[in-house]
């Protein structure tokens, strides 16, 4: 049966741990002769902008011996009304996998149901599981073990936060999210995260006070206040989320060796200051690099 990767729940916790281990091997000992995607073509259907996800997938596919084909909405018939199910079935006749960035989670679900090939969610308005893979890997690189590590996420309870909840709760981390009223993560992802955490020994909490959230945290994580598609709300979001800015004062309330994460792109001066972006304990660029290694491990798992 073909595998998809629409959320982290498409993996068991054991498979997730295995992917993180494989990412580490691929990062530490790159093997140019290892080509599990040889002769395979992977489509990248992106309805939203992307720097990291697009480039890391294209480069990763190339490094594994495969070919990537970027399909922008401008160029394919989907934007002119060709049904999703026809698109999925036709693309399955040419491609070995389809990586999709789109607005609604339902779109990736329909594509996965109709396609005979693996479908990968490269971000929807609800989730960003490829990002969470790299987040967990980056945390693991910088700590003895994932289990019991405390991480504070600050700001908007968005797609990145929803996937982080699932990932942390599968792997037994203690995640505290500080979000203002009205900006909580998705209720279903929170409830499911708490269920998963009760099995893994982790925990998921939502609080209002950012200083309380960062207290004792080894990792501080933030993302933009206005995600793609929410541009009309930018002014209100800047006002409501201002107390959650990741700045020097907040960093000084965390554990003294606390490290800083951001999925990027950042709006410097909004959710994070320049000073924190450039701080010696910012591991944001490693986190971005790790998109490449974790997605290579993912593609190998899906296609070999």
Buried b (16+ CB within 10 A) or exposed e, 95-117: bbbbbbbbeebebbbbbbebbeb
Q: Is 230 a catalytic residue?
A: no
Between the CA of residue 21 and those of 82, 147, 288, what are the distances in Å?
40, 15, 18
Which member of 108, 263, 266, 272 binds ligand NVA (CB under 6 A)? Answer: 263
Q: How many residues bind ligand NVA (CB under 6 A)?
A: 9
Binding segment for ligand NVA (CB under 6 A), chosen from 8-16, 83-91, 99-107, 157-165, is 157-165
Query: Could you tell me the smallest distance in angstroms from the CB atom of residue 56 to ligand CP?
Result: 8
* Residue 228 within binding range of ligand NVA, rule CB under 6 A: yes
Our finding on whether 135 is near ligand NVA (CB under 6 A) is no
- Catalytic choice (135, 156, 186, 223): 223
Give yes or no for residue 124 binding ligand NVA (CB under 6 A).
Answer: no
Q: How far is CA 110 from the centre of its chain?
A: 20
Contact 133, 298 (CB under 8 A): yes
Q: Look up 131 and say whether it is catalytic.
A: yes
| Cα dihedral 199→204→205→211 (10° resolution) | 130
The site partner of 111 among ligand NVA, ligand CP, none (C-beta below 5 to 8 Å per kind) is none
User: Is the CB of 204 or the CB of 224 nearer to ligand NVA?
Assistant: 224
Q: Which phi-psi region, left, alpha or beta, contains residue 229 (left: φ > 0; alpha: ψ -120 to 50)?
A: left
| Burial of 278 per CB tally in 10 Å (0-12, 13-18, 19+) | exposed
51 binds, among ligand CP, ligand NVA, none (CB under 5 to 8 A by kind): ligand CP
Options 223, 240, 270, 271; binder of ligand NVA; rule CB under 6 A: 223
For ligand NVA, the nearest residue by Cβ is: 227
- Find the Cα–Cα–Cα–Cα dihedral 225, 249, 259, 101, rounded to 10°: 0
**How far is it, in rounded angstroms, from Cα 242 to Cα 77?**
41
Positions that interact with ligand CP (CB under 6 A): 50-53, 123, 131, 263-265
Positions that interact with ligand NVA (CB under 6 A): 123, 158-160, 223-224, 227-228, 263
Which residues does the annotation mark as catalytic?
A: 101, 128, 131, 223, 263, 291
């Amino acid at each position: 049966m073909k595998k998809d990767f629409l959320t982290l729940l498409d993996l068991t916790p054991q498979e997730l741990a295995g992917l993180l281990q494989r990412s580490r091997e691929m990062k530490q000992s790159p093997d140019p002769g290892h080509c599990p995607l040889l002769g395979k073509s992977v489509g990248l259907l992106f309805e939203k902008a992307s720097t990291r996800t697009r480039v890391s997938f294209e480069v990763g596919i190339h490094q594994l011996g495969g070919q990537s084909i970027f399909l922008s909405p401008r160029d394919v018939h989907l934007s002119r009304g060709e049904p999703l199910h026809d698109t999925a079935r036709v693309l399955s006749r040419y491609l070995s996998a389809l990586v999709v960035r789109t607005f609604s989670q339902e779109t990736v679900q329909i594509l996965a149901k109709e396609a005979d090939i693996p479908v990968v969610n490269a971000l929807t308005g609800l989730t960003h599981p490829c990002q969470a893979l790299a987040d967990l890997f980056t945390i693991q690189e910088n700590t003895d073990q994932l289990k019991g590590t405390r991480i504070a996420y600050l700001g908007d309870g968005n797609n990145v936060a929803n996937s982080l909840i699932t990932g942390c709760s599968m792997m037994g981390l203690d995640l505290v999210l500080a979000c203002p009223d009205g900006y909580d993560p998705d209720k279903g992802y929170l409830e499911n995260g708490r269920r998963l955490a009760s099995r893994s020994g982790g925990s998921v909490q939502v609080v209002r006070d950012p200083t309380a959230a960062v207290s004792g945290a080894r990792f501080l994580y933030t993302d933009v206040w206005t995600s793609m598609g929410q541009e009309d709300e930018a002014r209100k979001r800047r006002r409501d989320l201002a107390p959650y800015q990741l700045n020097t004062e907040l960093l000084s309330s965390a554990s003294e060796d606390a490290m800083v994460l951001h999925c990027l792109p950042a709006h410097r001066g909004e959710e994070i200051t320049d000073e924190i972006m450039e701080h010696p304990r910012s591991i944001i660029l490693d986190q971005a690099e790790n998109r490449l290694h974790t997605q290579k491990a993912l593609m190998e798992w899906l296609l070999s």
